[in-house]
Structure formats: structure tokens, C-alpha cells
Amino acid sequence: MSTVIGVVTFPGSLDDRDAVRAARLSGATAVRLWHADNDLHGVDAVILPGGFSYGDYLRCGAIARFAPVMESIADAARGGMPVLGVCNGFQILCEAHLLPGALTRNQHLHFRNRDQQLRVSSTGSAWTNAFAAGQELLIPVKNGEGRYVADARTLDELEAEDRVVARYVGVNPNGSMRDIAAIRNEAGNVVGIMPHPEHAVEELTGPSVDGLGFFTSVLKHLAGAPSLQPAATA
């Protein structure tokens, strides 16, 4: 049976269709989840896509965090279900306290939209196990509030526990502390990333197909970790 990845649509999501397409190209079955429906429909993993959920009023992700679907996702994430938050999804995961820190206004105040070089620094997550440590990727970044911020102790902990998943290489597009582009939780099933792997899955439209590795990683993780699934669907 094929692995099923659910992609959530919030009002204001933009990249949900691209995320569905990326999941399918990687070999998964992709289904759409709706923000107002707290039923996860038995999916094996969840993607929170980029966009401007609920208009990003108040703070990015602040209102989406209280969507009915997020309650189920938070429970499932604590039970080990893989969850990937991209851009606005990363912001939502931080607002929901599933990941530490916060994403704030880009240091230079400009929206940045460019192809970005990244270096994978942790392959110990459900979403990066198909990469080699230190592997460089070229993936689009597009954000206005993507500057990762946390206190020094949290940053030290993330580094000491191998929880910085990827860093910007060359130019830091938003002033993120310690060049952080992506982080994971302790268990490694929850990953937040500011650049967009789902936009780098086809030669025709992306700068590379480096993004596919995130999605094939989760398939590999789920194939090798059936024990996680009962908790995930409970």
C-alpha cells in the first residue's frame, strides 16, 4: 500500500497544490486536508504548506495554530507522525510550539525570492534521511518573515543535539540567526524549513530537483518505521 501524505489547505495557503504534486512525484499518494476538519483521514504524514494562512494577521501562523486540523496534527506529531512545515508551515509549527523559536521580519525588510544554496546539516530527521550529511541543495526561498530567531540557549541546544537540519550557504537571505534555514524537533519527525523543497522537484519549473529528497526521505522513514504508525493514526 502506498504511503499517504496529507497536505493541509488553510484560507490563504498558496503552495498546497505544489506540495501535493511534489509528494506524488516522489511516489506517495497525496490527499488534501482542510483546516476546519480535525479528521486526518488516516494519512501517514502531513505537510503544512507555504502561503499566508488567515492573512497572517497578528503574526504569521498565529491564527492557523488554532485551526481544528492543527489540534489533530499536534497530537499526531507528538505520537511520532512525520510533519513538514514549509515557510508559512514552519511559522505555524513554531507558533504551535511544536518547534522552538520564531520567524520574524527579514532583517533588511525586503521580501526575498531567489534560488538559494543550502547545506544539509542533519540527516537524522524523517524528512532528510535520504540526503548525505553536508550535501548542498539549490532550492527557491521566498519570504518576508523568514528570519529564524531563538535565545542563545535554544540555539546552542539545537546545535548540540544535531537539530539544525539545514543552513543557508553563501548569502543568508533574511538574517536568520546562525544561518538557520531548517530545524527539527527532538524526535526528528517534525521539521520546519523556510525555503521551498516543493518548488524544486521538476527540471521544467525548478532550479534543481533537490527538493524531491525531502519527500523520498519520509517514504523511506515510514517504510522503515512501521512502529510509528499506530501512534500516528491513533
Active site residues: 87, 196, 198
Question: In sequence order, what DSSP letters do the residues of 77-135 get, joined into one string?
Answer: HHTT--EEEETHHHHHHHHTTSSSSEEE--TT---EEEEEEEEE----STTTTTSPTT-
166 binds other proteins (CB under 8 A): no
Residue 61 CB, shortest distance to other proteins, in Å, is 9
**Using CB atoms within 10 A of its CB, is residue 149 exposed (0-12), middle (13-18) or buried (19+)?**
middle
Q: CA-to-CA distance for 78 and 83, rounded, in angstroms?
A: 10
Q: Contacting other proteins (CB under 8 A), which of 71, 108, 113, 231? A: 108
Q: Contacting other proteins (CB under 8 A), which of 104, 121, 143, 185? A: 104
Q: Which 3 state secondary structure label does DSSP give 189?
A: coil
160 binds other proteins (CB under 8 A): no
Find the part of the chain contacting other proteins (CB under 8 A) among 25-33, 105-113, 162-170, 216-224.
Answer: 105-113
Pairing verdict, β 45-48 and 112-120: unpaired
Contact 33, 3 (CB under 8 A): no
Q: Which is nearer to other proteins, 95 or 210 (CB)?
A: 95
128 binds other proteins (CB under 8 A): no
Q: Contacting other proteins (CB under 8 A), which of 18, 44, 56, 95? A: 95
Q: CA-to-CA distance for 131 and 12, rounded, in angstroms?
A: 31
Q: Contacting other proteins (CB under 8 A), which of 25, 31, 149, 209? A: 149
Q: Which is nearer to other proteins, 107 or 113 (CB)?
A: 107
Q: Which residues contact other proteins (rule: CB under 8 A)?
A: 58-59, 62-63, 66, 94-95, 100-102, 104-109, 147, 149-151, 175
